[in-house]
Amino acid sequence: MARTAVLGLPRVGPDRELKFALESHWAGESSQEELLEVAARLRAEAWQRARAAGIDVIPSGDFSLYDHVLDTAFGLGVIPERFGPAQDADLGTYFAMARGGDGVRPLEMTKWLDTNYHYLVPELSPGQAFHLRADHWVDQLLEARRLGIATRPVVLGPLSFLLLSKGLDRPLDLLDELCSVYVQLLHRLAHAGATAVQIDEPVLVQDRTPEELEHFARTWRGLARATSLELTLSTYFGAVDLEPLADLPFAELHLDLVRAPEQLEPALAALRGTGRRLSLGIVDGRNVWVTDHDRALDLVDRAIAALGTEHVTIAPSCSLLHLPYEAARETGIDPEVRSWLAFTAERLTELRTLADAADATPERRDELLARPREAVQSRRASARTNDRRVRDRVAALTPSDYDRASPAPERRRLQHERTPLPELPTTTIGSFPQTPEIRRARRDRRAGVLSEEEYEAFIERQIADVIAFQERIGLDVLVHGEPERSDMVEYFGQQLEGFAFSEHGWVQSYGSRCVKPPILYGDVSRPGPMTVRWWRYAQSLTSKPVKGMLTGPVTILQWSFVRDDQPRSETCTQLALAIQDEVRDLEAAGCFAIQVDEAALREGLPLRRADQAAYHRWAVDCFRLTTAPVRDDTQVHTHMCYSEFNEMMDDIIRLDADVLSIEASRSDMEVLDAFAERGGYPNDIGPGVYDIHSPRVPDADEIERLLELAEARIGRERLWVNPDCGLKTRRWEEVEPALRAMVEAAQRRRARTAAPA
C-alpha cells in the first residue's frame, strides 16, 4: 500500500491556545515554563491527531513559537550583533529578534513566498559565522518518541535559507560553510534516533539560475554523502525544473501536484527504475475544498503503475500550516456549503482514504469514494455558486471602465484646491487599537447581551474618542479607527454575497497573529452600503478630512479561501465591482479621500516570471476598476505592506493611486530606492516611519531621520507621513507616544529647508 505523509501541521492550536500563551508570556503574566508547557501540549495533540488518522509519516521540528525561518536562523546561530552575543542567546533573544524591544529593532518581516504567512528575514553579514543549536529539532524528535510516535524532522534547506535572507549580494558564497553545519545537524538527528529527514527547498519553484542550481546540487550531494539518513527533498507552491534534480541522491522527492500537476509525467520518467520514492502532493494544503478523489487517484494510479506501490507517498501539496483545524466544528456554516469543505482534520482523512482506495478493488473504491464524490458533485451543481446578474455585469465591461478621467498632476491640483494640506501631511493607515472593551462589545452583540442600538451607540463613542485624539495630537488627515471591524477582509465579506464564515477557522499569520479567512464560494455582489454610515458619523465630528476606508479586491481575494472552479481573475473582477459600488457611495456622501487597501497585491505575484505579466495585468486592472469612477478632486489612497517593489514598479505606477502608503521603517527606507529609480514615482507616497508590529515606541529623532532619508530619495513635495500599517494590534500606551513623535518629526521637517531629492 502507498504510504501517507504530512509535510507540516498547524501549530497555533484549535482555539488559538498558542496565541494566548504567547501574549500572556510577553505581558509578564505567565512564565517561560508555562508557555513551553502549552507548546508541548499542542505538539503532542497534533502528533496524536495525525497518528489517529492513520498517517504513516508524521513531521516534527515544524512547530514554532513564532516562525520556522526564525527558528532556522536561531538554530544556525545567525543572530545579528545588536541582539547580543550569539553564544548567550536564549528565548528572550529569540523573541527580541521577532518583536524588537529595549531600543533594538527586530528582523524584517515579509511574506512566505506567495502566501499570507509572514516570515522573519534572516540577516547575513560579511564573514558570517554559523553555530549549530540543534535543540529545536532534536528535542521535538525525542518528545514525540516519548509518546510512542516516530516522526520525520523537517528542516528548511540551506539554499532556501540563504536566498530568503538579506545582507549579502552573494549569499551562496556561504553555502559550503553552511552545509557543514547542516551535516552536524543531520548527525545530531541520526544520533537521536531519526531515520529520515525532510529538507524543504521551496525556492526551487522560483526561477533559479544555472549557477544557483549547480551550487544546490553540489550541496545536496555533500549532505547525502555525509549521512545515512533517508533525505526527502521537499518542494511546494509550484513546479520545479526537474532536469537538474533528477540525478541527485535523495530517497524521496516531494512535488506539489495541486499547483503543478504537469510535473508528474517528467518525474515518473526520471524516477522509474531508480528505487527512489515520489511524494505526490495531491490534496491542497492551502485551500479548503474537498478533494476531487477521482482526479487525485488518477495521479496516484499513474505513479503506482510507473514506480510500484512501495515507491509512492500520498501527501498534501505543502504543510497544513495554512489551513484551520476542523471543518466539522463549523456548525454555523450552511450544511450544504460545509459539506464542500476540508480543513486539516478532513485532509488527514482524505489522505488515508486515497491510500486505501489506491489499493482497493473497483467495487471497494466506489464505496470509499461515495461521500467525497457526492460533495464534489453537490458543489458543481449548486445554484449558490452562480449569479447571472453578476456575470452579465462583468461581461459588459469595456476598456474605458478602468481609467480615471484625468492624469495625476491635474488631479493633484484639483484635490489641493478642494482640500489644502500642509507639506508632509500626516495620517494613519486606518485602524486604531482594538481594545478589550471593543472586543467585548462585539462578543456581547453576538450573544444578544447588547442590542443593535446599544452596540451602535458604543461604536459611535469609540469613533468620537479616536477623532478627538487625532485632532488633539495634530494629524492632518483622519480616520474613524475601524472599531466596528474585526478584520479588514472579514468585515467586508460578511456584507457581500458569495461568502461563508467559520467560527473556529483560525490560521497563523505570524507569531501570535491569527486570521480567520472568509470562504469565498460563489459569485460576489454587494447588497448595500457597508461603510458609509460610520464614515458619515466620523466626518460630522471634525472639519478635517476623514478617509473612507475600504479593502481592495486583490487583498480580499488573497486573504480568503477562494473558489477554485473558475479563474482567480474572474473572481477578482466580481470583487472589484462590488467594492466600486461602495466607492461610489462614499464619494456621493462627500468623502474627499478614499483609501482602497491592497496590502496583498505583491504577495499574489506568481513565483515564476513567465506567469507574472498576466497577474500584473488583471490585478492592477481590478484596482483601477474599483477606483475609476471617482471625480478628479476625490483623492484615492492605497496601502501595501511587506512588499518588494523592484520587479513590479511599472504596475505600481499603473495603479494610478493619488497616494500610496507602504511599509518602509524596518528596511531603513531602502524600499524607496525602487521608487526613486527611472525618473521617480510620479504620484504621492507615504513610506511608513515606524514599525507597528513591534511594541517599541520610536522617538521623534528616529522618525525625523527616516523622513530625511525618504526626502533624499523622493522629494518632500510628494511625501506623506504615516506608520507602516494599521494600529489594530497595538495598545494605546504604545500608539499615543508613537503618533505624537511622528507628528513632531513631521513638524520639525517642515521647519527645515527641503533638500533636493
Crossing angle for the helix pair 568-588 and 388-395, nearest 10 degrees? 90
State how far Cα 695 lies from the chain centre: 21
Closest CA to 526 of 551, 561, 559, 560: 551
Task: Find, among 136, 691, 683, the residue nearest to 411 by Cα.
Answer: 683
Which grid cell sits at 674? 525602487
DSSP-assigned letters across all residues of 361-385: -HHHHHHHHHHHHHHHHHHHH-GGG
Cα gap 162→121, rounded to integer Å: 10
Cβ within 8 Å of residue 311, ≥6 positions away? 271, 275, 276, 277, 278
What span, in angstroms and rounded, lies between the C-alpha atoms of 485 and 606? 30
**Quick one: which of 501, 479, 508, 492 has its CA closest to 552?**
492
Q: Please state, in angstroms and rounded to a whole number, the distance separating the CA atoms of residues 555 and 552.
A: 6
- How far apart CA 401 and CA 730 sit, in angstroms, is 39
Q: Which of 443, 441, 463 is nearest to 454 (CA)?
A: 441
Q: Residue 239 and residue 525: Cα distance in Å, rounded?
A: 34
d(CA 335, CA 506): 20
Which residue among the candidates 254, 322, 639, 693 is catalytic per the annotation? 693
- Determine the straight-line distance between the first and last CA of the chain, rounded to whole angstroms: 67
Residue identified by cell 483609501 is 595
Q: Cα separation of 708 and 669, whole Å?
A: 10
Phi and psi based region of residue 680 (left: phi greater than 0; alpha: psi -120 to 50; beta: remaining)? left
Alpha-carbon gap, residue 686 to 684, rounded angstroms: 7
Rounded Cα distance, 116 and 651, in Å = 21
C-alpha 306: how far from chain center: 37
Q: How far is CA 748 from the centre of its chain?
A: 36
| Sign (positive or negative) of CA dihedral 583, 427, 121, 20 | negative
Compute the CA torsion angle 694, 695, 696, 700 (nearest 10 deg): 90
Question: Counting Cβ atoms within 10 Å, is residue 473 exposed (0-12), middle (13-18) or buried (19+)?
Answer: middle
CA–CA dist 230, 508 (Å, integer): 30
Please tell me the distance from the alpha carbon of residue 163 to that of residue 247, in angstroms, as a whole number: 23
Determine whether 637 is an active site residue.
Answer: no
- Helix %, strand %, coil % of the chain (to 5): 50, 15, 40
Helix (H) or strand (E) holding 97: helix 91-99
- CA distances for 634 relative to 326, 436, 537, 578, 586, angstroms: 45, 35, 19, 19, 10
In angstroms, the Cα distances linking 176 to 180, 215, 221, 704 are 7, 9, 12, 42
What number of CA atoms fall less than 13 Å from residue 572's CA on the CB side? 25
Which residues are the active-site residues? Answer: 693
